[in-house]
Structure 1
């Protein structure tokens, strides 16, 4: 049976103090969350220690937002898998569209980061998705399948989460229609040797649409950006009505 995984990507938001204030309001709302739902908070590096200590023994787990493919070296500004696991991190986002757009991430480096994450005992959340121009040109399927094929070369699919994030729907308020999101998630699953890999949808997920999104048969969770920054809002998403 496929797992349900709801992850919040805080991006470059929240100091340590902000993070702890969020948890004070958020954690009590997990008391009634169904056991089969995994909850992950992917914070900035500076808040990982505070989150790890506070979340120990709770329903929520800690994720990071990036990882380097080398275990150490002259890579200013990067962080290794060992550095993350030492802090109690269990998950890491890899290949987010913002990393690809602003920081030169490529399919090759995504593949290297995925392997490094797994070698360190972390479960990576691989992000894939198309731009508006690619969708308008009818290239969604070709682009997403190509990302999957290149990213997963030599990667263990038993220790993996995939997030379909149409770039045109990230932070724009535009949400991919739930049946279309489901179709692309099904397409992604069709490319996998392991059909039990959880496939999330990400892109302007919010309380008003999460129930419909999560009712789709090939969507196993959500990777949530802006709506994960407020405790009440994210708790409603985590506790979606199935």
Structure 2
């Protein structure tokens, strides 16, 4: 065995041990997510991708945190947060905050509220709840919805989807005429799926009243407060000081 080979062998072992020790020292944070292109989702090779996923990896690179991701339906994710089995939600909203969930101090995205309709839908803008009273709106089960829909929930008819792939199933329901409209807290998810599946000409966005949707990271209240404070500081540092614009990245993402 040559001296050069031995040197390379021992250097490899050293770097492997060093990498293991570094990973071992990091604090594991389990993050729950649902499939939400272009925020965070699995590509055709079953690899997690998207601007939100990359943002978590950015946090890892400047901190002693390491993130593990687990896919859930919304209702199951809330249950796991309540039990403390997961420490963060990749996406949350003010209306989801409760005794078990607290949002990050600042949102990572703002988005105008829309409904998604088939391209032959007669309206381009909703100005009154009366325009929706005889229509069925598809939504994610237990997901956040716009303030306008939430305020008028008792006057409207909703059909929910609970799957981890619910955004895609909602789009299929719309095209199959099982619902008249669909709503997601961010319409960009449906726009991306339409482009990817070459059906953009079959849908259109319908503007609805209300303030912009604000999307946050969610923390389990069982997460150590010191860790939550550190994560909040890291999030603000990347968004405000390093000026990572997740809103633009999410809107313009292409894979």
TM-score by length of 1: 0.31
Structure with more relative contact order (C-alpha pairs < 8 Å, separation 6 or more): 2
Larger strand percent? 2
